[in-house]
A and B are shown apart, each in its own frame.
Chain A
């Protein structure tokens, strides 16, 4: 019995290591292919207990994300970065304005888009876009990101969180539904991990 338990624990420890899965295939124009991080083994089991305890999560076992429209692509002129917002797909009537989630939409060249979460990758504060310097900056601890979302300086350990997107019938759609957090999190599974840039010469 003791040996079996030990073997199980050992197997558990081995499986705790985060496994890398291939990202969903590119949907729409300019979607990135990338790897995502999903906790395996006991971590996922614990995460599942958490999900069971959550009143909202119980209703949606398939995950929180779904495709949401941000409106016509015409609102986002090429070469510009603009604030957009959407009603979170998982929301109750009593949520009020808290379910209206903002995000930054960057139209790279008319065909390619980038949609960033509002939350700083450091502690989740709302980052602001400064067109003059072409930088995103965070008011809390001075995290700075380049216009493509890559980390520029400050305390964040990574770039901005980025949503997958597609253009359907002239509408910009993103896959969203969950607040991104910086931990190695199953929550970020549909979010694209932005590579770290080498520091400027």
Chain B
């Protein structure tokens, strides 16, 4: 014990990290914020951690080659000890991560947490959502089976409809004239290096902002946000009746993250890994390509739209949605935070949920 303390002291004398870490842990949060509604951010990070660990384990076996990827997945499923379980954890972890990130976003939206001064935190969050979806799509491609092959065809067909740069986008995406080895290598690089690197950096910034600006207080109907006096009021709220994050806030985060971890493991054990379905041989045309569940709504939308509406909706729709989300804190940065006094916000969420749910069938 004395030895551990001696080593700790030796390290801290040089790194000088002990004091800032203790300060971060003890940072005051509003008393009502130590709530079960504020656990989704940390749960998303837990899911990310699971993805990182299982992803590294999978990369030890996986062969990112169009000719070999499918075979290496078979090896993982059937020959490597617990390979199937690691694949299942990674697959279910990705589903959980997308779901948790979306729930986190809905909670932040309904609790008005994107308002002054947390606009940048929200914007970084939007990019984190995009990267999470990017990881989900590139990951689905790495499971190089029939669905992945024809899913790439669908992606290329959508890209090709972008005016002017469509053909260039298709080549950039496929890395050549057809879906082949270069395509898989490209998606591997994005899934394993590019997006995780950006994602880690953005998560760091997102978290830094949460610490610097403080966690959102519990929204009270009638307590309006004003740029002129918000910082002062928040300071008062945290310093007079606030509680330290450790232990008042963290235990709920820890328990919920644990539940998520167990839920992912339970799904992985019970349902097993996703695929791979048939070999990625384009000559096998007796196939019904199907995207993973978080892209199914888009897939359904594409069958319901009239032909002439498709390209405009596909190209302009996401741009409008993205600009709307990014602009949100700037045109509604002040005022009421509580969802009880924001009927349009509640209706927006309900309408989106019903639409996405209906398109899943």
Verify that A and B bind, or say they do not: yes
Which B residue sits closest to A49, measured CB to CB?
B168
Among residues 272 to 309 in chain B, which have CB atoms less than 8 Å away from a CB atom of chain A?
Answer: 279-283, 285-289, 299, 302-303, 305, 307-308
Smallest Cβ distance from A124 to chain B, in angstroms? Answer: 3
Q: Does B178 lie within 8 Å of A101, measured CB to CB?
A: yes
* A133 vs chain B, min Cβ distance (A): 17
A118/B280 contact (C-beta < 8 A), A96-B67, A142-B303, A185-B167 known: no
Q: Which of A95, A122, A126, A139 contacts B181 (CB 8 A)?
A: A95
The answer to whether A156 and B307 touch (CB under 8 A), given A54-B176, A55-B182, is: yes
Collect the chain A residues with CB atoms within 8 Å of residue B168's CB. Answer: 46-47, 49-51
Residues 28-72 of chain A: 1 if any B CB is under 8 Å from the residue's CB, otherwise 0? 000000000001001100110111011111000000100000000
Chain A proximity mask over B167-198: 1 for CB below 8 Å, otherwise 0? 11111101111111110000000000000000
Q: Are the C-beta atoms of A141 and B303 separated by less than 8 Å?
A: yes
CB distance from A199 to the nearest CB of B (A): 13
A98 and B280 within 8 A (CB) = yes
- Contact (Cβ within 8 A) A183 B166: yes
Give the CA-CA distance A157 to B302 in the complex, in Å. 12
Task: Please name all residues of chain B whose beta carbon is closer than 8 Å to the beta carbon of A93 when the two chains form the complex.
Answer: 67
Find chain B residues with CB under 8 A from A99 CB.
178, 180
Q: Is A88 an interface residue (CB 8 A)?
A: yes
| Cα(A42)–Cα(B177), bound, Å | 21
Residues of chain A within 8 A of B288, CB atoms compared: 139-140
The answer to whether B162 and A97 touch across the interface, beta carbons within 8 angstroms, is no
Interface residues on B, range: 35 or more
User: What is the minimal beta-carbon distance from B33 to any residue of chain A, in angstroms?
Assistant: 45
Tell whether, in the assembled complex, residue B305 and residue A185 are in contact, meaning their CB atoms are under 8 Å apart. no
- Interfacial residues of chain B within 139-180, with CB under 8 A of chain A in the complex: 149-150, 153-154, 156-162, 164-172, 174-180
The residue of chain A having its C-beta at the shortest distance from the C-beta of B70 within the complex is: A96
User: What residue in chain A is nearest B172 (Cβ atoms)?
Assistant: A50
Which residue of chain B is the closest to A182 with respect to CB atoms?
A: B157
B170 touches A185 (CB 8 A): yes
- Within 8 Å of chain B (Cβ to Cβ): is A119? yes
CB distance from A128 to the nearest CB of B (A): 6
User: Contact residues of A with B, CB < 8 Å?
Assistant: 16, 39, 42-43, 46-47, 49-51, 53-57, 64, 83, 85, 88, 90-102, 118-119, 122-128, 139-142, 155-157, 177-179, 181-187
Which are the 10 A-B pairs with shortest beta-carbon distances?
A96-B67, A183-B160, A50-B168, A124-B153, A181-B160, A56-B176, A178-B177, A141-B303, A183-B166, A64-B177
